[in-house]
């Protein structure tokens, strides 16, 4: 049974194909169009999934869209009515789009599918599960659990902004929901906006900024108190109530009334690219603390309602890996699994799985020892011929290695010499994280690597941290964690014996100076609070990446590498060899490895200066 799942028309459009419940392929549209968070119809992603699965649209048993547009329209109408006359301008802007396209989504989908060869005379079943059911299914069905509590938290679907469910065998039962306009995701996005980052894109920057706040500062405590007394009421069961006089997202064109927030917090809204100050970091730390408190309360309620030892997480807030680490450390659940494509892109996969197991009533096949996502390596791959053709097009010079062991030893040596290496192997990752197949790599022992990667390779804000990729069997040698984290979705501390003491005046240092204080013998992956966003690398799911890190360990004694996504700021992660070479030549990267081919920057022909990525990508 072949089922195609689709998410589209909000942000992070994607497609996923399953065959008898087995995940065949999944990819985000942005990787093909090169437009970050592309919300358009995922024609390229669908085409890839069908080609990889060796099928056509009319051979499918169902096509499944990830939410119910009529319920979403009902929410919009009721919200505008409730807040009237506020929101008239927003209403007048939204309604034409809904009346033209979104309200008649079946027609829109069929028209788009026709362009891909769909024959409407042989109709395929078209299904629409609810948004949070799609999220829940994306986490539960691929998990290694027979039963699990399901916690989904995001901005908003149709009405639900968070939900608690129980997964048991092939069934999912939603037990409790929090409804719009009360939303933890939108609360966090409001602070993302106020602190000068882009909503639905910069939330992870806010999470990275928070540790620069001073945890001993009375200002942080004051901000937490203001948030909890003026903006949001927290309840023991994890539900929240937001005072809508402090928010504009329900009916306005902005997240918050800026003057009211400026008066409340004693600072104006930060403009994008403006210098970050201690008060910005302290406010970021305050909302991160509140978010973690709510998430922990929700997790406790999920345990109370389900009695399960297992928890699965999805929804955009499940990408907050600091909060995820706190859940895991809390001991509320024995086992935690997080969907790596937790945001809307993963809804495409969840929609397909929900249709298979719920609508078609098909049983699950559970591994019990590992999840069913194949390491999230579900996207397109490439051949040696693709690399050769790309090299001919750009007159690129490369050395081909017949033996991968020799290649990995050579790349390990390059990394140990503090070179920055682009690393492109096998199938592209599904989800926002590069997991060793579309990555930029560096030496974690280097005191200068974080600065070099941020400013000369990624061209992004210097405060943003980098993640360690560590051999799974060596994780406990570096970090206070002895479990697995294959999807880079958990934050845990660096071990005490690897840390270095902070200077006495550390808390008074400017943010930029805090960044360059060495905190451990892994300085380029140790964040300012001694934490790290860990990726455990497993030989079973990515043998080539594991072999490279193992070669680096044999050379240096460290089974860890710096891993960041292969892109520049504002660009989607690279997909093809051509994407990779173009990014390589536009940056100060030293080497590029695609499959078994190694490109040395010093040997490449000049790249046209007029080809400037800054004019091509909108800053995220």
pTM: 0.94
What DSSP line would sit under 331-374, residue for residue? TS-SEEEE-TT-SHHHHHHHHHHHIIIIIS-PPP---SSS-SSG
Confidence of residue 479 (pLDDT cuts 50, 70, 90): very high
Q: Nearest CA to 417 among 401, 441, 451?
A: 441
pLDDT at 230: 97
pLDDT at 81: 61
CATH superfamily placement of domain 384-615? Carbamoyltransferase, C-terminal domain (3.90.870.20)
pLDDT at 80: 64
The yes-or-no verdict on residue 90 having pLDDT over 70 is no
Helix or strand holding residue 323 (H, E): helix 321-330
- What tokens does 580 get? 């990779």
Domains 144-338 and 384-615 share a fold: no
The Cα–Cα gap between 333 and 327 comes to: 8
Give residue limits of the domains in the chain: 1-142+341-367, 144-338, 384-615
CATH of 144-338, one of 3.30.413.10, 3.40.50.1820, 3.30.2290.10, 3.30.420.40: 3.30.420.40
pLDDT at 107: 85
Confidence of residue 98 (pLDDT cuts 50, 70, 90): low
pLDDT at 136: 98
The yes-or-no verdict on residue 565 having pLDDT over 90 is yes
pLDDT at 504: 85
- What tokens does 51 get? 């080609």
What digits encode the pLDDT tens for the residues 440-472?
Answer: 999 999 988 888 888 778 777 777 788 999 999
Instruction: Give the residue-averaged pLDDT of 465-487.
Output: 95
pLDDT at 201: 87
Return mean pLDDT, the chain: 93
CA torsion angle for 190, 202, 524, 512 (degrees, to 10)?
Answer: -60
In CATH, the number for domain 1-142+341-367 is 3.30.420.40
Range of lowest pLDDT (84-88, 267-271, 510-514) = 84-88
pLDDT at 552: 98
Q: Residue 601 in contact with residue 587, Cβ under 8 Å? A: no
User: Above pLDDT 90, what percent of the chain?
Assistant: 81
pLDDT at 454: 80
Range of lowest pLDDT (78-87, 134-143, 254-263, 568-577) = 78-87
Confidence of residue 615 (pLDDT cuts 50, 70, 90): low
**Residue 177 exposure: Cα atoms within 13 Å on the Cβ side:** 17
Instruction: Give the residue-averaged pLDDT of 264-289.
Output: 95
What digits encode the pLDDT tens for the residues 571-604?
Answer: 999 999 999 999 999 999 999 999 999 999 999 9
Instruction: Give the residue-averaged pLDDT of 143-172.
Output: 96
């Amino acid at each position: 049974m072949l089922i195609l799942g689709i998410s589209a028309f909000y942000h992070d459009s994607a497609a996923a194909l399953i065959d008898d419940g087995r995940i065949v392929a999944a990819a985000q549209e942005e990787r093909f169009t090169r437009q970050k968070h592309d919300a358009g119809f995922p024609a390229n992603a669908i085409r890839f999934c069908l080609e990889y699965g060796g099928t056509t649209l009319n051979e499918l048993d169902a096509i499944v869209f990830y939410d119910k547009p009529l319920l979403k329209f009902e929410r919009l109408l009721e919200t505008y009515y409730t807040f009237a006359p506020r929101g008239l301008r927003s209403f007048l802007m939204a309604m034409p789009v809904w009346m033209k396209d979104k309200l008649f989504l079946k027609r829109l989908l069929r028209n788009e599918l026709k362009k891909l060869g769909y024959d409407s005379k042989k109709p395929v079943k078209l299904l629409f599960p609810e948004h949070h059911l799609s999220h829940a299914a994306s986490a539960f069905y691929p998990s290694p659990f027979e039963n699990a509590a399901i916690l989904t938290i995001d901005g908003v679907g149709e009405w639900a902004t968070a939900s608690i469910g129980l997964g048991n065998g092939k069934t999912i039962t939603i037990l409790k929901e929090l409804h719009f306009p009360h939303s933890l995701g939108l609360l966090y996005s409001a602070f993302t906006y106020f602190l000068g980052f882009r909503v639905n894109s910069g939330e992870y920057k806010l999470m990275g900024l928070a540790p620069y706040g001073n945890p001993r500062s009375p200002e942080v405590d004051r901000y937490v108190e203001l948030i909890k007394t003026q903006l949001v009421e927290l309840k023991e069961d994890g539900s929240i109530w937001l005072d809508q006089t402090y928010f504009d997202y329900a009916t306005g064109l902005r997240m918050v009334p800026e003057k009211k927030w400026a008066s409340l917090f004693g600072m104006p809204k930060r403009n994008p690219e403006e210098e970050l100050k201690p008060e910005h970091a302290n406010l970021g730390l305050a909302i991160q603390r509140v978010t973690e408190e709510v998430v922990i309360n929700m997790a406790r309620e999920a345990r109370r309602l389900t009695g399960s030892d297992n928890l699965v997480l999805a929804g955009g807030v499940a990408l907050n890996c600091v909060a995820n680490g706190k859940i895991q450390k809390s001991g509320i659940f024995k086992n935690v699994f997080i969907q790596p494509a937790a945001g809307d892109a993963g809804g495409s996969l969840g929609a397909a799985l929900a249709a298979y197991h719920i609508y078609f009533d098909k049983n699950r096949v559970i591994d019990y020892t590992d999840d069913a996502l194949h390491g999230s390596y579900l996207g397109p791959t490439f051949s040696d011929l693709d690399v050769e053709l790309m090299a001919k097009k750009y007159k690129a010079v490369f050395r081909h290695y017949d033996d991968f062991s020799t290649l990995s030893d050579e790349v390990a040596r390059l990394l140990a010499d503090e070179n920055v290496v682009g690393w492109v192997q096998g199938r592209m990752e599904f989800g926002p994280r590069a997991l060793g197949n579309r990555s930029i790599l560096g030496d974690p022992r280097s005191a200068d690597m974080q600065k070099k990667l941020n400013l000369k390779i990624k061209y992004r804000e210097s405060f943003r941290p980098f993640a360690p990729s560590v051999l799974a069997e060596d994780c406990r040698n570096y970090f206070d964690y002895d479990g697995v984290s294959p999807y880079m979705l958990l934050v845990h501390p660096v071990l005490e014996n690897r840390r270095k003491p902070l200077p006495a005046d550390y808390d008074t240092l400017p943010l930029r100076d805090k960044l360059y204080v060495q905190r451990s013998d892994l300085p380029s992956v140790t964040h300012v609070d001694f934490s790290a966003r860990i990726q455990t690398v497993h030989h079973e799911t990515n043998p080539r990446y594991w072999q490279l890190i193992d070669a680096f360990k044999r050379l240096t004694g460290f089974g860890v590498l710096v891993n960041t996504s292969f892109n520049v700021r504002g660009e989607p992660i690279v997909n093809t060899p051509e994407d990779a070479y173009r990014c390589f030549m536009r940056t100060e990267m030293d080497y590029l490895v695609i499959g078994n081919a190694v490109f040395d920057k010093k040997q490449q022909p000049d790249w046209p200066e007029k080809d400037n990525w800054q004019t091509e990508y909108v800053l995220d």
